[in-house]
A and B are shown apart, each in its own frame.
Chain A
Amino acid sequence: MAAATQIANDLHLSRRGFLRVSATAAGGLLVSLYLDLPLAAQEGAATKAKVYPPDAFVHIKPDGKIIIQVNRLEFGQGVQTSLPMILADEMDADWSQVVAELAPAADVYRDPVYGIQMVGGSGSIAHSFQQYRELGARTRAMLVAAAAQKWNVAPEQCRTESSVVHGPGGQSAKYAELADAASHLPVPETVTLKTAAEFRLIGKGTRRLDSSPKCDGSMKFGLDLDLPGMKIAVVARPPVFGASPKSFDDKAARSVPGVVDVFEIPVGGKGRGVAVIADKFWTAKQARDRLRIDWDFSGVERADSSQLREKYKTLAETPGNVAVARGDDKAIDGVSASNRILAEYEFPYLAHTPMEPLNTTIRFDGDHAEVWAGSQFQTFDGAAIAQVLGLKPEQVTFHTEMAGGGFGRRAVPDSHVQREAAAIAKHFTGTPVKLVWPREDDVRGGYYRPMHAHRVEIGIGADGMPVAWRHVVVGQSIMAGTPFAAFTVKDGVDETAVEGIIDTHYDLPNFHLSAHHPAVNVPVLWFRSVGHTHTAFVMETLIDELAVRANADPIAYRRKLLKPDAKKLHRALDLMEQKSASWRAKLPAGHAVGIACHESFETGVACAVDVSIENNRPKIHRVTVAVDAGIAVNPLTIESQFQGGVSFGVSQLMAKGAITLKDGYVEQSNFDTYTPPYIMDAPTAVDVHIVPSSEKPSGCGEPPVPVISPAVANALSRLTGKRYRNLPLVEV
């Protein structure tokens, strides 16, 4: 979602939103962010007792604990640690006393750039760095002011360290002791932020705050939620997207002890399914499997992967909607056949399959609903639930639950999971109902990374460098029909389908890029690193092929072709070259090096992989990866995201790493048929090197993913002499 940085500016959280402080009933200080309300409303609000949250970011408790609200979902990426680090650093808080909480849905927690409350586009730190710094600095300034007043000294004479203010005469006061007094002081209009040299937490590898409860079974994820009287819902969805039941026989299902009800509901973007509600999950699933449903497939397109492959291949032979036309697009016709590459690529649908199956719990009370969901998209999901239940968005209380992975799957513009949950909850006033998608539903349920075809023709000059590049991309648009389309689809080109090519940092003369976006009856969605999942594979395997043809070192060739202003990529490439030099120089027999570099979400990444072939599969012994992501807030998290992210990127190389359809039916159903990497498939070692930087931080969740699959394919090409253009990698 690179283009998504422009999204929804009309919803942009006003910079005029201001902070307010208040005391809590139990003592302590709350620092809250208020939106730009009319003055009268502000005055009124000042006299009301504060509810904590939904509007506070920092709460200093009398016992010294500092509770910091995290304004977005934690689902592995580490924001529950790194955002509090930023605030605590500017505040000079005692880190050992910091407690992080996932904020509920509320306007103040909207992403400052996107204008909605969400996680996506690798924007957590990139967008909230400044916001959390300012919050921390203002909180500190008020505590200092309270201390200065108490001691009758100037604030400038005070210093702070580890939740203590120290005065010029040796006085000291803990933040908790000053909190009440600080809560009666005005919020400073301007504050001075720290210089990089003054950071105490930012830049320091800091262990996660959520490790222990995730290692002893005590962490509660959305699926673990247990409420008094709660029922569980499982839905039989149409086996072909968009179909509906003609009729169904639920006699056997209802005879399962514990089944509460069975009824039809709308599912997905269209079509209908049958919901089974029971006292427990196992009961509901058993009963669902006993439903006998006669499906009506009339008027429903039956997508078929092999037919789509042929269709896409043919479409790619003609130019689509033009994304870039630079120089002479006929230049390639002047290049002799022996100096041309014609490459056709195929990529399948991919399912995200986060480890925690999709779920949402709703209790509908007639004029109010309470929601518990691990959502990347609280603003949309809350509004969708309100709409289904006939409520106003403010009548929905939305709790953000810890989520077991997501990779994009918990950010769905049509909120289909929450709509289903709401349609079910509507039948049970006062009773909480948890909708659970069993793994089979998730694998077969659509909202995939779209299938794609690429066709690329390259003309090569006498010096081995490209002189012409004609590129056609074919694939469904993930943005069409969503609220994001206005910002991301331009002249019929979905920018997320061509990102990584349209903005390539290689200097490609006579460059022509176009795209076709056929409509197919398969719901599609962004997937971790979005378009870069396929575009980086195409670009980086082709650049490697050019380097091989030019008899050039693959790193030197890239460096030569990269534009000089691609600074992050140059720095990453240099660091990777240096850090991998010793092992690249002494590879065991039967091993080869593969290189790739790619910039996404404003982060430059370069990697070298050591690969051999074992049991006819790539064995990835080692990955050296270098990253330029601006200021590294938590280097330990960045290392973790890159170690995990490159291994996640191996997914599309897996022999069973594809979702395919036959006659409208998804052919895979669970991890036995759609198989992400296990420990032996992932790299054995990944060493991560961070380019030192004072530039603003950029994303780290998605940028690790694009580089690994082309790097491995490039290494395999060196071992086998073959080029790999079709994923998944069924054969080596």
Chain B
Amino acid sequence: METYKLRVNGEAKEVTVDPGTPLLWVLREDLKMTGTKYGCGIAACGACTVHLGGVATRSCVVPVSLVGDRPIVTIEGIGEDPVGRAVQKAWVSEDVVQCGYCQSGQIMSAVALLKSAPKPTESNIEESMGGNLCRCATYVRIREAIKIAAQQMS
């Protein structure tokens, strides 16, 4: 067991856990922040996507010991960010969600996309969102919502 100081959504947190524990499970079980989801545990579905040091990251494969001093932003905090807010708003206005389980990860990936490409092309979208699985397959509306968020940002 080791103690780690983390910065999550701007707040200082401290956890004492096994160093190999993935960040996902530290968030969900130690910090009780369950908005970040477990879908596969092998970085194949993107449900666990968070921003680590500003980069969209699959938290299920990042041991907490490797987080270091990089700030963590999760779905619970992304609404504080103007891009995050625009994406969440577009997701609601386009009625994107069905079961909704993957959407935390979809939104975190979409925010990262719009931060790097404010006017994304279809291929930008497919590249950035290409690792986020949605079993309800809400992909058509995800594309639309990203475009609407981009319009509203510009």
Interface residues of A (CB under 8 A from B): 75-78, 207-208, 210-212, 214-221, 223-224, 226, 257, 280-283, 286, 353-357, 402-407, 438-440, 636, 640-641, 643-648, 650, 670-672, 676-680, 682-686
B36 in the interface, Cβ–Cβ < 8 Å?
A: yes
Question: Is A640 touching B91 in the complex (CB atoms < 8 A)?
Answer: no
Q: A207-B95, A404-B100, A647-B137 are in contact. Are A355 and B142 (CB under 8 A)?
A: no
Given A207-B92, A210-B97, A670-B44; 9 other pairs, CB 8 A cutoff? A215-B100, A217-B33, A257-B1, A438-B41, A643-B141, A648-B136, A679-B129, A682-B140, A683-B140
Of A208, A283, A670, A683, which contacts B42 at CB under 8 A? A670
Question: Is B133 touching A678 in the complex (CB atoms < 8 A)?
Answer: yes
- Enumerate chain B residues within 8 angstroms of A207, measured Cβ to Cβ: 92-93, 95
Q: How far is the CB of B22 from chain A (nearest CB, A)?
A: 7
- Enumerate chain A residues within 8 angstroms of B76, measured Cβ to Cβ: 216-218
Question: Is A217 touching B136 in the complex (CB atoms < 8 A)?
Answer: no
Could you name 11 residue pairs across A and B whose Cβ atoms are closer than 8 Å? A77-B98, A211-B95, A214-B103, A286-B18, A355-B45, A355-B47, A403-B99, A644-B134, A644-B137, A672-B44, A685-B140
Residues 71-114 of chain B, each 1 if its beta carbon lies under 8 Å from chain A, else 0 = 00011100100000000100111011111111110010000000
Interface residues of B (CB under 8 A from A): 1, 18, 20-22, 25, 28-30, 32-42, 44-45, 47, 74-76, 79, 88, 91-93, 95-104, 107, 122, 125-126, 129-143
- Enumerate chain B residues within 8 angstroms of A683, measured Cβ to Cβ: 139-140
Closest 4 pairs (CB-CB, A-B):
A217-B35, A404-B101, A214-B100, A647-B137
Question: Is B99 touching A75 in the complex (CB atoms < 8 A)?
Answer: yes
Question: Is B34 touching A220 in the complex (CB atoms < 8 A)?
Answer: yes
Could you tell me the dominant secondary structure of chain B's interface residues?
Answer: loop
Q: A280-B29, A354-B99 are in contact. Are A439 and B40 (CB under 8 A)?
A: yes
Of A76, A439, A677, which contacts B99 at CB under 8 A? A76
Q: How far is the CB of B19 from chain A (nearest CB, A)?
A: 12
Q: How far is the CB of B150 from chain A (nearest CB, A)?
A: 16
Question: Is A217 touching B42 in the complex (CB atoms < 8 A)?
Answer: no
Give the docked Cα–Cα distance between A403 and B136 (Å): 12
Give the docked Cα–Cα distance between A218 and B131 (Å): 23
Give the docked Cα–Cα distance between A622 and B143 (Å): 13
- Enumerate chain A residues within 8 angstroms of B35, measured Cβ to Cβ: 216-218
Question: Is A211 touching B92 in the complex (CB atoms < 8 A)?
Answer: yes
Q: How far is the CB of A38 from chain B (nearest CB, A)?
A: 42
Q: A76-B136, A640-B141 are in contact. Are A208 and B95 (CB under 8 A)?
A: yes
Could you tell me the dominant secondary structure of chain A's interface residues?
Answer: loop
Question: Is B95 touching A353 in the complex (CB atoms < 8 A)?
Answer: no
Give the docked Cα–Cα distance between A218 and B129 (Å): 22
Question: Is B133 touching A676 in the complex (CB atoms < 8 A)?
Answer: yes
- Closest B residue to A213 by beta carbon equals B100
Give the docked Cα–Cα distance between A446 and B104 (Å): 28
Centre residue among A215, A407, A438, A640 by max chain B CB count within 10 A: A215
Give the docked Cα–Cα distance between A215 and B75 (Å): 8
Of B34, B45, B129, B132, which contacts A226 at CB under 8 A? B34
Give the docked Cα–Cα distance between A226 and B38 (Å): 15
Q: How far is the CB of A449 from chain B (nearest CB, A)?
A: 14
Q: A216-B88, A224-B34, A282-B21 are in contact. Are A670 and B101 (CB under 8 A)?
A: no
Question: Is A672 touching B142 in the complex (CB atoms < 8 A)?
Answer: no
Q: How far is the CB of B97 from chain A (nearest CB, A)?
A: 4
Q: How far is the CB of A226 from chain B (nearest CB, A)?
A: 6
- Closest A residue to B39 by beta carbon equals A355
Question: Is A679 touching B99 in the complex (CB atoms < 8 A)?
Answer: no
Give the docked Cα–Cα distance between A389 and B32 (Å): 30
- Enumerate chain A residues within 8 angstroms of B103, measured Cβ to Cβ: 214-215
- Enumerate chain B residues within 8 angstroms of A210, measured Cβ to Cβ: 97, 100
Q: How far is the CB of B107 from chain A (nearest CB, A)?
A: 6
Give the docked Cα–Cα distance between A405 and B135 (Å): 7
Question: Is A684 touching B122 in the complex (CB atoms < 8 A)?
Answer: yes
- Enumerate chain A residues within 8 angstroms of B22, measured Cβ to Cβ: 282
- Enumerate chain A residues within 8 angstroms of B99, measured Cβ to Cβ: 75-76, 354-356, 403-406
Give the docked Cα–Cα distance between A307 and B71 (Å): 53
Question: Is B140 touching A676 in the complex (CB atoms < 8 A)?
Answer: no
Give the docked Cα–Cα distance between A312 and B125 (Å): 43
Question: Is A671 touching B45 in the complex (CB atoms < 8 A)?
Answer: yes
Give the docked Cα–Cα distance between A211 and B88 (Å): 10
Question: Is A643 touching B138 in the complex (CB atoms < 8 A)?
Answer: yes
Question: Is B140 touching A647 in the complex (CB atoms < 8 A)?
Answer: yes
Give the docked Cα–Cα distance between A438 and B39 (Å): 8
- Closest A residue to B131 by beta carbon equals A678
Question: Is A671 touching B133 in the complex (CB atoms < 8 A)?
Answer: yes
Of B93, B96, B143, which contacts A684 at CB under 8 A? B143
- Closest B residue to A357 by beta carbon equals B38
Question: Is A680 touching B92 in the complex (CB atoms < 8 A)?
Answer: no
Of A212, A257, A677, which contacts B92 at CB under 8 A? A212
Question: Is B101 touching A644 in the complex (CB atoms < 8 A)?
Answer: no
